[in-house]
Each structure stands twice: as C-alpha cells, then as structure tokens.
Structure 1
C-alpha cells in the first residue's frame, strides 16, 4: 500500500471519529474565521462543497454567504470529461442528485454552469494537509485538475482549503500534479503559505 493511500485511510478514520457535537462546533468556529476574512468579504462568487465522509461541514458558511447576497457554486462531476468538475449555481431550491461517489450535487443544468475563471474563491476540501500548504485529496485528482490553471498562471478562483485541525500531518507526500494551497482555514488557525 502506498504512503499516500495509508495516510488517506488514517486521516479519513480520524475525521469520521469526530462526534456530532465536535463537528458542529468545528463548523461554527470555521464560520467565524470565514466571516472575518477580507478576501471572502470581497468575493461575489464562491465555490464550495457539501460535506461527505467526515469533512468539515461548510453548510453554516453557505447559509452565511447567501445571507450576504453572494453566489454559491457547487462541484458536479463532469459527465463527459472524466476526472473534471463543473461548478453549478447553488440556491436553497436547487434540485439535487447523488453522483457516482454517492455525494450530493446539483442536478446538471448547463444554464447554471459557471466557468472556473468567473469564480472569485474556491473552498477546497481535503483529506490531509501540512504546514507548507500541501494538500492530500481523495485520490481522484479532481481539484488538482481544477486548480492547475490557478497554480500556473494565477488565473481563476483563489483556492482556500478548509479542514478540521485533526487533518494536519507532519508532511504530505507530494506528486508532480499536486497543487499546494496559498491558504488553509481550520477551526483554530488561519494558515498562509
């Protein structure tokens, strides 16, 4: 088993072990950090995700973004280009479906798709991170492909990783395609790299 696979399993188990109360508190503490972040205050269009597999829950953040009259977008697994994501406008009335990973996403409606370049910020989920901004995802490379243009040319949405504090590790084993993040927010800390 590879080092990345083993680390992925360990950290996924760690975050799934958090109680409902710990999850709720973490989501509220994360929201407080987000509310005081100047880039988030200035953003109009924000990509987010819906929590799965013990991820920190961004729903309180999504509700706050809506209250602030910001547009929220969620990832949808691209139906024709394997390994890629589309981002669809998400509202409280968006029809939802489950994708091939059993994750809830907006029902595909091409009129609600936004180009990545039109997003201001992208809250990026992860399995693990380290103190250098390296991120370990679920292993499909979806977010690394999405953020490749930002990494190479600083075009498109600025990524901000969000995670539980327990997802920090000493070092994430890197591959050439991995995109390090410029910032990560956890309930207790704002990391800048």
Structure 2
C-alpha cells in the first residue's frame, strides 16, 4: 500500500490531468446527483468550499443550491485558533480575499459566522477516499481538527444535540481501494461523486 504522501501525490496528479471539458461535465453531474440526495430538503444551512488544485468545481453546485433557496457558508481559516476553520455566510456579493494558501475565502465578519453545530450539512474536500468513507485530505488537518469537537449525525452519540451531516465531494477518479488512516482522521458517512453516492 502506498504511503499517505505517495497516495496524495498520485491522486492529485490524476485529477489535475482531467481536461477542462471533463472537469465541467463532472461538476454538473455532481451537482445533479447531489441535489437528488434524500436528506437535502431537510438541510437549509450548508457549508461548501471553493475548489482548488484540481478539485471538482463546486460552482455549479453552489448555484443549484442557491436556486433552491439554501443558505450557504464557506470555510475560512480561524482568526484566533490556529489550524481550525470557521464557516461564514456566503452570497454572490460577499467580499473575498485570498488566505495564506492563496485560496479565496470571505472577509472575516463575526456576525456572519455560523457555529458548526448550527450547520445542517458540511461538504468537505478530499484528495482520496475509499468505499468505507475513509478520507485523505491535503495534510493540513483543518477539517479533522475542526470537526473532532462536534458529534456528527453518523456518530453513536444518542444525545439530542444538533449535529451536522458530513459529505465528501470528489471526482470518481479519486476513489482508491483503501486509504491508510490515522487515529485523528474523521471518516465520512457519505461521499458524492459525479457517478455515485457512497454511504456507510
């Protein structure tokens, strides 16, 4: 089995080799498949992300969800807690800036931040995944650290606390036989690709 570093390089190269037409087709197919999710009508506050480094383009999905009246949120690097994310309300006219990784994120506005526990659904990026929901990210651990503090709707916690659903978004070519996992990894209960939805 390749190491996490080797797997990360391999799959990043694989998705970066997709043509512009393949990227566009995949993005629209994923948006259509995502909007058919059975639990989507119950999700009003949804966190997404803007694509980077060959990730599947989320703009068609963003527009499709806006058309359905959903309220969307984007991640930004936590201004006070290093290595964590916060999620901020996002509209077409939201002021944006590049973070230290060169990724666009909303200008921080405290009144527009929504706590993780008050989100209905969080869409996460990933580099590679397997059919068991194991996710390999870019290596920064931002989502793992942020979500580790919150039980999710697939957890064994039987309390009545509000919990967000989690779903990973990816190209079909990012699926691998097995992702080497670490104790701090947060497996995903669902992953959506242009061709399939994986549930565990």
TM-score normalized by structure 1?
A: 0.96
Shift of 1:150: 2.5
Taking the aligned partners of 2:138 and 2:33, their CA distance within structure 1 comes to 25
Shift of 1:147: 2.1
State the partner residue of 2:46: 46
Taking the aligned partners of 2:177 and 2:129, their CA distance within structure 1 comes to 8
State the partner residue of 1:15: 15
| 1:33-182 → structure 2 map (5 Å cutoff) | 33-148=33-148, 149-151=150-152, 153=157, 156-182=163-189
Taking the aligned partners of 1:150 and 1:129, their CA distance within structure 2 comes to 21
Shift of 1:131: 1.2
State the partner residue of 2:32: 32
Taking the aligned partners of 1:34 and 1:133, their CA distance within structure 2 comes to 17
State the partner residue of 1:187: 194
Taking the aligned partners of 2:163 and 2:54, their CA distance within structure 1 comes to 28
Shift of 1:38: 1.7
CA deviation profile, 1:136-181 (whole Å, cap 9, x unmatched):
0011111112222225648531101110000001110110000100
Unaligned runs of 5+ in 1: none
Number of residue pairs matched by the alignment: 192
Taking the aligned partners of 2:74 and 2:151, their CA distance within structure 1 comes to 18
Shift of 1:40: 1.5
Which structure: greater helix fraction? 1
